[in-house]
Chains A and B, each alone.
Chain A
Amino acid sequence: MPWAVGQPKMAALEEEFTLSTGVLGAGPDGFLGVEQSDKADQFLVTDSGRTVVLYKVSDQKPLGSWSVKQGQTITCPAVCNFQTGEYIVVHDHKVLRIWNNEDVNLDKVFKATLSAEVHRIHSVQKTEPLVLFRRGAVRGLEALLAEPQQTIEAVIPDEEVIKWSEFFMVFKQPVLIFITEKHGDYFAYVQLCKSHSLSKYTLLLGKEEKCVKPNFTARVDGKFISLVSLSSDGCIYETLIPIYSSDTEKNHRLIRALMLKAVVSDAARNGTALTILDQDHVAVLGPPLPASKECLSVWNIKFQTLQTSKELPQGTSGQLWYHGEILFMLHGKCLTVIPYKCEVSSLAGALGKLKHTQESDTHSMPHFVDWETCSGYDLGSYSAEQSRTLRRKKSETNLQAEVPGSKQLLSIIKNDSEKHIEVELRKFLAKSTPDFHTVIGDVVAGLLGRCKAEPSFYPRNCLTQLIQTHVLSYSLCPGLMEIALEHTDVQMLQLCLQQFPDIPESTTCACLKLFLSIGDDCLQDININMESVFDYSDTIQDEKKEIKEQTEIVQNGFSPEDNSCSKDDQQLSKKPGDAAKETISFPVTSCPVAPKRAALLNAVLHSAYSEAFLLPHLKDIPAKHITLFLQYLYFLYLKCSGNATMTLPGISPPTLSQIMDWICLLLDANFTVVLMIPEAKRLLLNLYKFVKSQISVYSELNKIEVSFRELQKLNQDKSGRGLYSIEVLELF
């Protein structure tokens, strides 16, 4: 997802374990493939000979094993058809076999002989499997099975050989990419399966690599496929291939960009592989130094750092598969499984700005920060006693609570209708539960899991209820906001922004983008919490008056004429009266955005952020929206400075410092862009004048500080009745 770029993460490889490979004949080239099955924990392993094994990884044991007859060889790794739950394999290039868990003998299962040789079958969730033929043609499985003997056209020239292929779902559209090689030249083909459009690109590689086979891996990055290759010089390169090509006819040439330098020493040797783990991390298999043993290492692309590595002394087959947070490889003769974890750790909480908490009066805050209790230090007998009783209470409730409660709910979430879930959830929330936090976390995870699996499933009310329990945070349910963004559910996003303390800057920025770009007509029927927005309609009548007062306030203590303004400034500022008029004619006299949008933007203003992480994302916002947002902020600023306390009316309005910080951030991020926009010119000039006036006021204050102090002294002398006096005192 484009908005999920750049949240700080800690990647780690967990303890490895091996799967028994007794039945598998691992040849010198390793396995044909490891593919996911429709159950989360189960994987299909196809060896280079005749066998397919279904493993349950958590149990470290095979669940089933199927072999083709002697004399036949499997030529394409078995995959699972996620729509039906059946398994598909191709042997002897042309024979397709489809079976399921109950089948014992592959000989007796469904068989279809095709008219052309199959290169691979690709299968991902939510769509039917695709069959890629040797000559580059692509067919959907169902269409193929309907007429197995249909003629398969040749798409790629004769001498080109498919080296690698991958299948993605991009905005619900299946996209297939494959790389071919001809005399050391590499070509990339992108096939959009729905529109049947095919684009061909020439990959420009370094000269020295023509002789060796590079390793490829890819992921979707917005409208591009990011093709990542490990070349023989040991470096990782990235090539961006557009998914939607404007004209399919031409042969485009693609230049690669260096991503990471020298991650493996000698890529010419066998035994190197790489795979993308997520947007920031790649896993590389290969020896890091010429003499060293092979290693599995995880690199952070963004920071160019090695995150973790694991030595594999017994050598590998140079193959690496990554499915569902598990890395598979052949280590020696064993199929080794290494779970990979990359947990999001938002730095916003640690070093970013804290969320502006207005509700501090509702929660009774302790008068001092008690670090000792934070660190679990036992304080005196009193608190020990207290915690003991607490523990006792906890264990009592544990005994009383019906254990199935949460489990039942979780199973309901998996299968039942939205309505039913909502009812059950309400019941569940009504009663107090021990371990409330963890259960809520599980429930959300369950709901989100189902949302991902079933695009139509979006239990808005349930999620809203859960967020309102105040126990959720972004890190507890990282997928929630993404899903809300996908559904452009601004109401939910507003709620999240208000409730979550730890939203990564990228997500905040994605919300901002959405809030700025969403059409007013969409906003109209959405029910949005408006408490942070004061009623603009009331104030609009007084607008002119206020603005006039306002300009006076800004100019208090200095006069633009007195300042030796630069020439163009003088031209633009003209007379003070004119300036005031111009300010009025400037669009910010009335709120530049509709109240509902203002409420949404206020939620963003309130959220916590760290400048360093937010700035890069702000650069992605279109200029039009930047101007709008700046206008809105400037409008808020004018409103703020309109009264003596420098606050806005309303229940939790943005504070002046939040407004100023955001103005600075936006200008920092988009200064060159804003400079170019004619509409923003007036705004910039106003801001410039404001800053200038502030600087001069402060410098004047500094100058007269000494005078202030002298005055204070004089005042003291007056009040102090000298060194000696006789007074009358009557005691009562």
Chain B
Amino acid sequence: MGEFKVHRVRFFNYVPSGIRCVAYNNQSNRLAVSRTDGTVEIYNLSANYFQEKFFPGHESRATEALCWAEGQRLFSAGLNGEILEYDLQALNIKYALDAFGGPIWSMTASPSGSQLVVGCEDGSVKLFEVTPEKIQFSRNFDRQKSRILSLSWHPAGTHIAAGSIDYISVFDVKSGSIIRKMVLDRQHLGVTKSRCIVWGVAFLSDGTVISVDSVGKVQLWDSATGTLVKSHLIANADVQSIAVADQEDSFVVGTAEGTVFHFQLVSVTSNSSEKQWVRTKPFQHHTHDVRTVAHSPTALISGGTDTHLVIRPLMEKVEVKNYDAALRKITFPHRRLISCSKRRQLLLFQFAHHLELWRLGSTLATGKNGDTLPLSKNADHLLHLKTKGPENIICSCVSQCGSWIAYSTASRFFLYRLKYEHDNISLQRVSKMPAFLRSALHILFSEDSTKLFVASNQGSLHIIHLLEGSFKHLHTFQPPSGTVEAMCLLAVSPDGNWLAASGTSAGVHVYDLNHLKLHCTVPAYNFPVTALAIAPNTNNLVIAHSDQQVFEFSIPDKQYTEWSRNVQKQGFHQLWLQRDTPITHISFHPKRPMHILLHDAYMFCIIDKSLPLPNDKTVLYNPLPPKNESDVFLRRTAHAFKISKIYKPLLFMDLLDERTLVAVERPLDDIIAQLPPPIKKKKFGT
């Protein structure tokens, strides 16, 4: 398989934003996640928890609430006082509507999904009707003294519980008047706190209101009488979030200490009908505040300041105890934030509000497996490019020759020309971008850097011809009639003849760039595409899906290759299918046409198509170095998958030349080091 020099890069100083809200949609089994920088991500829980869509963040849009309404429409509200609706097809924001109540702290949709209610800084609770196209303000409820931090509808849609500071109010939806007020105790272990913030409320159909507060309590109230029924003191710090299962037989709360508690409605004694809420399971998967929790029918979902999205399946709800029942911890985005210029050995890092361009170092030494070579030249930080405006960067790319950099935000597209003179570098922005190039979901330069391909969010693909310092619009492929689905992945063949594009659900389209027409469409597959690449010479399109399947499709023949059919016939190795991060990048060896290089966050693999495929009985991954010559020979010829797990978490890996690889790692410890310190817990003594 060969020996490589690996540029092991750990200076990509990427820190994901903390998770602020999660909202689970039962109909589509999708999870919406909003982060503190305003980014909203959509995870498809049926497709191996793949992050299939995302909406870029915005500096002024701190999302405080996220909810699904009217089936599968997604709304968010935040501290800028606006309610936003997201277009899940075109992947942009449909509209923003000011609620005129100051910052919005909470929002929830009615059980039927036809109404939205928001809680504002000024103490107002506002009801909106969801119309087919928009939302419309309906009326205000009785104004409260202080901000409304949490809201919950009664499952019948007749009442709303609102958590405020020091008290919970219950509103009658019909009249909009407050019918009950429940005052919380500010005492915590004998110490009276200055106030008790109700971080979350949940209204059950029997009239019980569950509240979680800053004093560390989970309390059950009878909304009919306004009395406290039961109080569980579960934390020394705030309890910040609550979510109830649809069946109302279990709920989950998250605390500022990073603990998630599961409560279940359990019979007092066996075969008695009397039931009570019992704290059953504590989970400590977070180090920091658990800002939000969700309860899907089969799993507890939590997220918070430590940026991990944790999906903890409930074992008793899982029918088959297979790998799907394992805990998932999603930390890194399922898309590439790094692009690479092979010719100049450059790496372009994409951050929320800036780009960094680095030049890799070099060495003259050689060594054997596992050696660290002395550097003759260290890596250089060439460029720090800050964006203009409050919007986050959606995507970016550096051309193979290193002379072009392009990036896009939600409303603007930027193209830069770079010039290298000895050690100096000059940057020039290409001005007067055409109006249709407003926002891009994916940007790609052709191998010879003469063409720029842009996937815009309306489903169209633009081809631009790059000249020295200027450009020319060549063509736009319009989406197939009737669809508005955005394309988010592109791949171009090294000879520049073919362009492959994939959306979030439909198949992969292959365009003929010489004749500027659609060449063919790869048959649609059930699971979304996570990575695409076209091999040199053969023009085979390699597609990785979120269920860990890899297909090879011959573009000239318009059919799957023989190898791909064989793979499908025999099936992948069990352990290959059980990996829980998607393949985010595929590349090829220029001299070895039988090799496919691919990686996910925890492994890097070279598939040698000439070798037999592994079956479930063979060892897929053998981390120990071979002991003797015959062992080396045996392993080399054993099976097609050569896997290395040395580099992790691996955000990017590519082949710079025949013998050189670049691997970008982002150790979790480095991320944790940049987070605010967690609540300190005593390790010793009581």
Which parts of A689-710 form the interface with B (CB within 8 Å)? 695, 698-699, 701-702, 705
- Beyond A376-B267, A376-B270, whether A728 also contacts B684 by CB under 8 A is no
A371 CA / B265 CA spacing, docked (Å): 9
A-B pairs with lowest CB-CB distance, top 4 = A698-B685, A730-B369, A701-B684, A731-B1
Question: B636–A726 contact, CB under 8 A?
Answer: no
**Hey, what's the 0/1 contact readout for B618-633 against A, CB within 8 Å counting as 1?**
0000100110000010
Is the beta-carbon distance between A372 and B636 smaller than 8 angstroms? no
Instruction: Report whether B4 and A728 are in contact in the complex, using a CB–CB cutoff of 8 Å.
Output: yes
Output the nearest chain A residue to B262 by Cβ-Cβ distance: A371
Q: In the complex, which of the residues B10, B363, B642, B684 contacts A723, with contact meaning CB atoms closer than 8 Å? A: B10
Q: Of A370, A374, A727, which contacts B8 at CB under 8 A?
A: A727
A644 at the A/B interface (Cβ < 8 Å)? no
Docked-complex contact B5 and A728, CB < 8 angstroms:
yes
Checking B8, B266, B667, B685 against A725 with a beta-carbon cut-off of 8 angstroms, the contacting residue is B8
Q: A374 contacts B669, CB within 8 Å?
A: no
Q: Are B684 and A702 in contact (CB under 8 A)?
A: yes
**A727 vs B280: C-alpha distance when bound (angstroms):** 49
Question: Which B residues are in CB contact (< 8 Å) with A701?
Answer: 683-685
Q: Which of A136-154 contact B (CB under 8 A)?
A: none
Residue of A nearest to B378 (CB): A724
Residues of A with C-beta under 8 A to B323: none
B369 near A726 with CB under 8 A, answer no
Tell me, yes or no, whether A375 is within 8 Å of chain B by CB: yes
Q: Among B11, B362, B369, which residue has its beta carbon within 8 angstroms of that of A728?
A: B369
Query: CB distance A726 to B8 under 8 Å?
Result: yes
27 contacts between A and B (CB under 8 A): A369-B281, A371-B266, A371-B278, A371-B316, A376-B270, A701-B684, A705-B683, A705-B684, A720-B10, A721-B8, A724-B7, A724-B11, A724-B361, A724-B375, A724-B379, A725-B8, A726-B361, A726-B363, A727-B8, A728-B5, A728-B370, A729-B3, A729-B644, A730-B3, A730-B369, A731-B606, A731-B642
Give complex CA distance A705, B370 in Å: 35
Q: Contact: A368 with B315, CB < 8 Å?
A: yes
Q: In the complex, how many angstroms separate the beta carbon of A383 from the nearest chain B beta carbon?
A: 10
- Contact: B625 with A727, CB < 8 Å? no
Nearest Cβ in chain B — how far from A151, in angstroms?
63
Q: Which of B275, B363, B626, B646 contacts A732 (CB 8 A)?
A: B626
In the bound assembly, the distance between CA atoms of A665 and B669 in angstroms comes to: 45
Residue B430 at the chain A interface, CB threshold 8 Å: no
Contacts of A728 in B (CB 8 A): 3-6, 366-371, 373
Q: Does B466 contact A (CB under 8 A)?
A: no
- Is A379's CB within 8 Å of the partner chain B? yes
Query: A728 CA to B636 CA in the complex, in Å?
Result: 18
B472 at interface by CB-CB < 8 Å: no
A246 → chain B closest CB, angstroms: 51
CA distance A720 to B665 in the complex (A): 12
Within 8 A of A (CB), among B302-319: 315-316, 319
A731 engages B2 (CB within 8 Å): yes
Q: Report yes or no: B316 in contact with A372, Cβ–Cβ below 8 A.
A: yes
Within residues 360 to 378 of chain A, which ones have a CB less than 8 A from any CB in chain B?
A: 367-376
- Asked if residues A370 and B316 are in contact (CB atoms below 8 Å), the reply is yes
Q: Is the CB of A375 within 8 A of B266?
A: yes
Contacting pair A732 B372 (CB below 8 A): no
Q: Taking beta carbons and an 8 Å cutoff, which residues of A are in contact with B?
A: 367-376, 379-380, 382, 695, 698-699, 701-702, 705, 716, 720-732
Q: Mark B623-661, 1 if CB is under 8 A from A, else 0.
A: 001100000100110000010101000000000000001
Docked CA distance A728–B644 (Å): 12
Q: Chain A residues with Cβ under 8 A from B622's Cβ?
A: 732
| B514 interface hit (Cβ, 8 Å) | no
B316 touches A732 (CB 8 A): no
| Cross-chain contact B368 with A374 (CB below 8 angstroms) | no
- Whole-angstrom distance between the Cβ of B269 and the nearest chain A Cβ: 10
Main SS at interface, chain A: mixed
CB-defined contacts of B626 to chain A, threshold 8 Å: 732
A720–B666 Cα distance when bound, in Å, is: 12
**Per-residue A-contact encoding for B1-37, CB less than 8 Å = 1, 0 else:** 1111111111100000000000000000000000000
* Contact partners of A729 in chain B: CB under 8 A: 3-6, 369-370, 644, 646, 661
> Does chain A have a CB within 8 A of B339?
no
Say whether B515 faces chain A, with CB atoms less than 8 Å apart: no
Is the Cβ of A379 less than 8 Å from the Cβ of B316? yes
B267 — which chain A residues lie within 8 A by C-beta? 374-376
Chain B residues within an 8 Å CB radius of A695 = 685
Q: How far is the CA of A728 from the CA of B9 in the complex (A)?
A: 14
Asked, given contacts A698-B684, A702-B685, A720-B667, whether A726 binds B266 with beta carbons under 8 Å apart, the answer is no
Least Cβ distance of B621 to chain A in Å?
11
B5's partner among A375, A699, A726 (CB-CB below 8 A) is A726
> Within 8 Å CB of B4, what residues of A?
728-731
Q: With A369-B280, A731-B606, A732-B626 as given contacts, are A726 and B7 in contact (CB-CB < 8 Å)?
A: yes
B316 surroundings in chain A (CB, below 8 A): 368, 370-373, 379
Docked pose: A376 CA to B361 CA in angstroms: 65
**In the assembly, what is the distance between CA of A722 and CA of B378, in Å?**
12
Identify the closest chain A residue to B1 (Cβ). Answer: A731
Find out whether the CB atom of B5 lies under 8 angstroms from the CB atom of A716. Answer: no
CA distance A732 to B363 in the complex (A): 24
Alpha-carbon separation in the docked complex, A468 to B606 (Å): 62
Counting chain B CB atoms within 10 Å of each CB, which of A373, A716, A723, A728 scores highest? A728
Nearest chain-B residue to A723 (Cβ)?
B11
Residues of B with C-beta under 8 A to A368: 281, 315-316
A723 to B9, CA, bound (A): 6
Which B residues touch A730, using CB under 8 A?
1-4, 368-369
What residues on B are CB-neighbors of A382 within 8 Å? 319
Minimum C-beta distance from A346 to chain B (A)? 13
Q: Contacts of A380 on B, CB cut-off 8 Å?
A: 319
Interface flags for B665-684 (1: CB within 8 Å of A; 0: not) read: 00101000000000000111
- Alpha-carbon distance A40/B438, docked complex (angstroms): 95
Complex interface: chain A residues within 8 A of B362 (CB): 726
In the assembled complex, B264 has its CB within 8 A of some CB on chain A: yes
Question: In the complex, what residues of A have CB within 8 A of residue B642's CB?
Answer: 731-732
Contact B5 A727 (CB under 8 A): yes
Is B426 interfacial (CB 8 A cutoff)?
no
CB of B424 within 8 A of chain A? no
Bitwise, B260-277 to A at CB < 8 A (1) or not (0) is 000010110011000100
In the complex, what residues of A have CB within 8 A of residue B379's CB? 724
Residues on A with beta carbons closer than 8 Å to the beta carbon of B625: 732
User: What residues on B are CB-neighbors of A373 within 8 Å?
Assistant: 316
Among residues of A, the one whose C-beta sits closest to the C-beta of B667 is: A720
Complex CA gap A699/B367 in Å reads 50
Measured in the bound complex, the distance between the Cα atoms of B2 and A729 in whole Å is 9
* B673: nearest chain-A partner, CB-CB: A713
Extra A-B contacts (9), CB below 8 Å, given A699-B685, A732-B1: A370-B315, A371-B266, A371-B316, A376-B270, A380-B319, A702-B685, A729-B3, A730-B2, A731-B4
Measured CB to CB, the closest approach of chain B to A687, in angstroms, equals: 18
Using A371-B280, A730-B3 as known contacts, say yes or no to A716 and B375 having CB atoms under 8 A apart: no
Chain A nearest Cβ from B591, distance in angstroms: 15
Shortest C-beta distance, B662 to chain A (Å), equals: 10
- Chain A residues with Cβ below 8 Å from B685 are 695, 698-699, 701-702
Contacts of B278 in A (CB 8 A): 371
| Closest residue on chain B to residue A724 by CB atoms | B379
Binary flags per residue of B97-126, CB closer than 8 Å to A gives 1, else 0: 000000000000000000000000000000
B266 touches A374 (CB 8 A): yes
Instruction: Quote the shortest CB–CB distance from A690 to chain B (angstroms).
Output: 15
Flag if A727 contacts B371 (CB, 8 Å): yes
B352-389 CB contacts (< 8 Å) to partner A: 361-363, 366-373, 375, 378-379
Chain A residues near B368 (CB, 8 Å)? 728, 730
Residue pair A725, B375 in contact (C-beta under 8 Å): yes
Q: Is the CB of B270 within 8 A of A375?
A: yes
Q: In whole angstroms, what is the CA distance A119 to B48 when docked?
A: 90
Q: Which of B6, B373, B646, B684 has the largest number of chain A CB atoms within 10 A?
A: B684
Nearest-CB residue, chain B, relative to A702: B684
